[in-house]
Amino acid sequence: MSLPRLVATDLDGTLLDDDGRITERTADVLRRVQEQGVRVVIVTARPLRWMDELWELVGGGRGIGIVSNGAITYDIDRREPIDVHGIPATDGLPMVAAIRKAAPGTTFALECLGGFRHEPDYVELHPSPPDVRVGDLAGLWDEPAVKVLAEHLTLDPDDFRARVVDAVGERATPTWTTDHLMEVSARGVTKGGALAELCRRLGVAPEEVVAFGDMPNDVPMLRWAGTSYAVANAHPDVVAAAGHRAPANSEDGVAAVLAGIFAAVIE
C-alpha cells in the first residue's frame, strides 16, 4: 500500500487537545510527515480570524487551509484566499426570515471576509474581535457571508437543529458543531467539497488522502477521502461514516495514526 500524499484533519476535538492546543507530540509528527513531501491540510469550521497562531503548523511554502466549513480555501504563506463561497443578502435574508418563522427567538451573526458582525441580541460565546459590527442584519449584510450563524439558547438543541434544517431546505447547507448554534454555508459548500476541489487542483486522488474528524460537519470530508478516521471521542454519525477509528484527541489520536502510517519514513 502506497503512502498518502495528503493528510486532511479537523482541528477542535480532533487534532487539538481538550484545551484547544497543539501538543508537542502532534506538532512533531506533523512536521516529520511534511518533511516527506506530504501536504497537511487543516479543514475546520473555525473562521479565518481564529487561525493566525495555528497556520505555522502547516506553512512552509506549501501551506493551504480550509476554513468556515469549506467556504474559504486559503493560501497560508501568501495570506490570501484561493476560493471564497458566500451567501449574498438577496438569498440570505429570505432564508433568515424562514428560520425565524420556524424557530422564533433565533438570533443571527455573519462571518464575512470583511469581518464578524451580529444582531444586538446575539450572544457571542467566544471573545469578539475588536472590529465587530453590531446592528440590524439587513444593514450588516453588505458582502457575502461565508457562514451564517443561527443561535437559540433555550430551544432543545435537537429540536432547533431540525427546525433550521427544515427551514433552510435546499437553499443552503446547514450543519453544526455545538449545541444551540447552527452554521449555514452556501448551497453545496462542505468540508468534503472544498477538499475535493483542492485535491483536483493539486492532482491528488481520493485514495491518496487520509482524513480525520469528530463532528457531523466532518462527514462529507470523511466520506470523500480514500482513508478516513473518526477519533474515539467522535459523534456517532462520524463513527458511522469513517472507515477506521483513532485514539481520542486528548490522546494525540491523529499523531498516533500518522506515526503508524509513516513509521518507515519518519522514525
Express each pLDDT in 79-122 by its tens digit.
899 999 999 999 999 999 999 999 999 999 999 999 999 999 99
Q: Give the pTM.
A: 0.91
Per the rule left: phi > 0, alpha: psi between -120 and 50, beta: everything else, 60 is left
> Has residue 1 got a pLDDT over 60?
no
The class of domain 6-84+189-266 in CATH terms is alpha beta
User: DSSP labels for 159-208?
Assistant: HHHHHHHHHHTTSEEEEEEETTEEEEEETT--HHHHHHHHHHHHT--GGG
Contact between residue 42 and residue 66 where contact means Cβ atoms under 8 Å apart? yes
pLDDT classification of 2: cutoffs 50, 70, 90:
confident
Q: What pLDDT does 267 receive?
A: 64
pLDDT classification of 235: cutoffs 50, 70, 90:
very high
Q: Which fold has domain 89-186?
A: 3.30.1240
> Has residue 36 got a pLDDT over 60?
yes
For the chain, percent of residues with pLDDT exceeding 70: 98
Alpha helices in 204-251 (DSSP H): 219-224, 236-241
Cα–Cα distance, 153 to 254 (Å, whole number): 33
Q: Which of 21-30, 59-68, 217-226 has the lowest mean pLDDT?
A: 59-68
In the chain, residues under CATH classification 3.30.1240.10 are 89-186
For the chain, percent of residues with pLDDT exceeding 90: 85
Cα–Cα distance, 222 to 155 (Å, whole number): 30
What average pLDDT score do residues 51-55 get? 83
Cα–Cα distance, 68 to 43 (Å, whole number): 9
> Has residue 196 got a pLDDT over 70?
yes
Q: What pLDDT does 127 receive?
A: 72
Q: What pLDDT does 62 receive?
A: 66
Contact between residue 237 and residue 221 where contact means Cβ atoms under 8 Å apart? no
Counting every residue written for the chain, the total comes to 267
Query: pLDDT tens-digit profile of 55-66?
Result: 877 765 568 899
In the chain, residues under CATH classification 3.40.50.1000 are 6-84+189-266
Grid cell 510527515 — which residue? 33
